[in-house]
Each structure stands twice: as structure tokens, then as C-alpha cells.
Structure 1
Amino acid sequence: MRTVSIPATHLLYLHGFRSSPQSMKARLVAERVAQRHPSVQWWCPQLPPSPREAMDMVMRGIANWPRSTMAVIGSSLGGFYATYVAGMTCCPAVLLNPAVDPARDLARHIGDQTAWHDPQQRFYFRPEFIQELRTLEVGPVTRPERVFAIVAKGDEVLDWREMSARYPGSRIRLLDGGDHALSDFETTHLDDVMAFLDPA
């Protein structure tokens, strides 16, 4: 299947639930952009717990980005958010073990939570956030050729069958093993992610 790459001039990275811009994958992409593609505008915001507030902030932040040369990468819950962004902008998206039905999956996480990368940071995941997630569901991807999803069968958090079935017609890299964090991201996947986005 032919993929459609663009020379990305603006790159957005969206982290997962309880995660942050300090995640391993976010830092690796940030370092790659800084070292090899310094002309690319990079943004990896700390997302608030509220899905509505998170996407309002993101859409305001990219409001003036060129739709023809922007791209988004999203991991886990960030993959769900990236699917929304791609649906709103038609930009290319790379999805790393993307959450498919976070409204269902995160319902059991209502209550006090700690941040992965700083356990001293706490937040409350509110019941109304579940409906906010449902509001962000965009349905089938309208430009499947502009999506590259990396899905690990060994993901201990999300179901690989749901993830791979969510993006028919897209480029899917299905890993026989792996884990939710894609621990081999730097050595096995980073080059292909950047090649798909073809940054300037």
C-alpha cells in the first residue's frame, strides 16, 4: 500500500493518560527534531486531565498551523486525541498503541491519580470526563492513507485487535510482541516514524 508522506513543518506530540512531555517516546522525538530537523516547529504540551480542556488547548495552539504541512503523533490516550486532531485537520498522524475506546477503559480510573513521571503530582479524574471523551469520538478515519499505527500484540494495557481494526486502510505495523510503552521505540520505530512524516 502506498503511503502519503509530506514534508512536515509543524509537529504535534500528544502523550498518554497520566503521562507527560517527559515520556520516553516524546523525549526521543523531541531530540530527533532538534538534532536533525531544527526548522520544524515542535510542540508537546502537558495535557490537562479534562479531555475537553485538553483538546480545546490543542486546537487553539495549532489554529494557525498550516494544515498542508503539519502532522501529529499520539501515544495511547494521545493516539485517541491524535485521531481527533487528524479528523479535524486532515493532517498525517502516527499512532503508537492508540486508545480506541478510552471512555470505556478509563471509567475504572475515576478518582485520584498520580503522574507517571512525577508521583508527587496528583490529579482527580472526574466522572464527567467520560462523556467528554465520547464527545471526541470522530468515527472512521477519512484519510486512512495518512495514518501510520504501530500496534503491539504484547500491549499489556490495550487490546491489539481493537487497535488494528480501528484503522482499516491505514499502514499498520503489527508487532508480535512488544509492550504498551514500545520500549524498543528508539532502535526499531523512530526512524520509520520520522520517514513517514518526512520532516523538512
Structure 2
Amino acid sequence: MSSVLLYLHGFNSSPGSAKARQMADWLAEHRPDIEVLIPAQPNTPAAAWAAIAQSIEAAQARHGDGLRLGAVGSSLGGFMATRVSERYGCRAALINPAVRPYELLQDFLGPQTNPYTHERYELLPRHMDELRALAVPVTVPERLWVLQQQEDEVLDYRKALSEYSFARLSLECGGDHSFVGFERYPAQIVHFLGL
């Protein structure tokens, strides 16, 4: 069996984000046997999903039937990781996940600049339709672990508690959208994912 951890960054982020690097660094030191995939997702939803699916399909081609996949997603990446879990039948850890991002991101329509890549683009109403089309119902909540901090300044943590009410949940007081103290979790996440 070959283990692959797929890390999905959030909106206007990149593979260079702090949590992505912390996860990759921990794996390099403690579990170098796990292949880490951190795809650079395009800034629009349908293109981002296509890049994610392509990364998974390439891993499937490399490893064949021996692939054991687990996903980690932060914010909008948590929304995408939920889709990965449902489509590919794997476990996923969701960090301050975005719930119904097609509603949340209505406030961000218009010109955008990704602070990591400096790429400029425009977020349009059709991108909200793309997000809506990517939403999936959670059918196997025990495959999901939601890590949530109450003082997330971007997302209302109560929406995640409602959306993922039957999933495993770790709710912390304080914190913020970056998930303060994430470095405490990589070992537990890898164990939960079964990698």
C-alpha cells in the first residue's frame, strides 16, 4: 500500500501557506513514506476542482490499487476536501472549513489579488454557480474530522458545527482563521486518515 496525503489550501492561498508547510515538514521528518500532494489550485472553483482531480488521478495512475488516500483541507480547501472524501471514499480532516462558500464569497465578488502568488483575477457570479455545483451532501460523516476554532474572524464556526454535526469534532476556544497551534495536530491527523 502507498499512502498519499492531499493538502488543499483555501481561497486566495497557495501551497506555500503556513499550515501546508507545517504538514509537509512534519511528514518529511516523521513519515517520509507518505507522498504529499499540495496542488497549486487555480483561483476559480471549477478550475481548482479540475486541478485537484488531476492530482488524485495522477496518484492513482502511479500507485494503482495500492493507493491509500487521505485529504486535509483548510477553509475553502475544507469544502473541497469534503468533496474529495465523498468522491474518492477517503477520510478528510477539515480545518476551519468553509460552509456554503457560494454564499460566503458573494461579499468578495470583483477584482482579487492572491497575496501569495500576486495573480490578479476577477471573482464573478458564475464562480458562485461553480461552487454550488461542487457542493456534495455528506453521506459518511465518520470519514470527516472537523478542527474548528471559535474565534475564526472569517467564518462563523457555528455553521461548520451544524453542517458537520455527525462528524468527529475538535472545537477550541480562541484561535483564529489560520488555526492557531496547528503544529499540534499533524500526527493525530495522519493517524485519523489511516495513512
When normalised by structure 1's length, the TM-score is 0.88
Deviations 1:42-94 (A, max 9, x none): 11011111211111121122125358610100000000010111110110000
Q: CA deviation at 1:197?
A: 2.2
- 1:179 partner letter: D
Q: CA deviation at 1:8?
A: 7.1
Q: Hey, what does 2:33 align to over in structure 1?
A: 39
State whether structure 2 residue 132 is matched by structure 1 residue 114.
no
2:14 counterpart (20, 25, 39)? 20
- 2:3 partner letter: T
Q: CA deviation at 1:112?
A: 1.3
Q: CA deviation at 1:169?
A: 2.0
How many equivalent residue pairs?
A: 190
Q: Hey, what does 1:104 align to over in structure 2?
A: 103
| Cα distance between partner residues in 2 of 1:67 and 1:144 | 24
- 2:180 partner letter: S
Q: Hey, what does 2:193 align to over in structure 1?
A: 197
State whether structure 2 residue 176 is matched by structure 1 residue 179.
yes
1:151 counterpart (148, 165, 168)? 148
Q: Which runs of 5+ in 1 are unaligned?
A: 1-6
Map 1:39-58 → 2, pairs under 5 A: 39-58=33-52
The percent of aligned pairs where both chains have the same amino acid is 38
Contact kept, 8 Å, 1:67 with 1:91, in 2: the verdict is: no
More helix by share: 2
The SS at the match of 1:70 is strand
| Cα distance between partner residues in 1 of 2:74 and 2:66 | 21
Contact kept, 8 Å, 1:8 with 1:71, in 2: the verdict is: no
Q: Judging changes above 3 Å, is the alpha-carbon distance between structure 1 residues 134 and 48 closer, same or farther for their aligned structure 2 residues?
A: same
When normalised by structure 2's length, the TM-score is 0.90
The SS at the match of 1:69 is strand
Contact kept, 8 Å, 2:70 with 2:194, in 1: the verdict is: no
Q: Hey, what does 1:4 align to over in structure 2?
A: none
| Cα distance between partner residues in 1 of 2:13 and 2:121 | 12
| Cα distance between partner residues in 2 of 1:105 and 1:148 | 22
| Cα distance between partner residues in 2 of 1:55 and 1:79 | 12
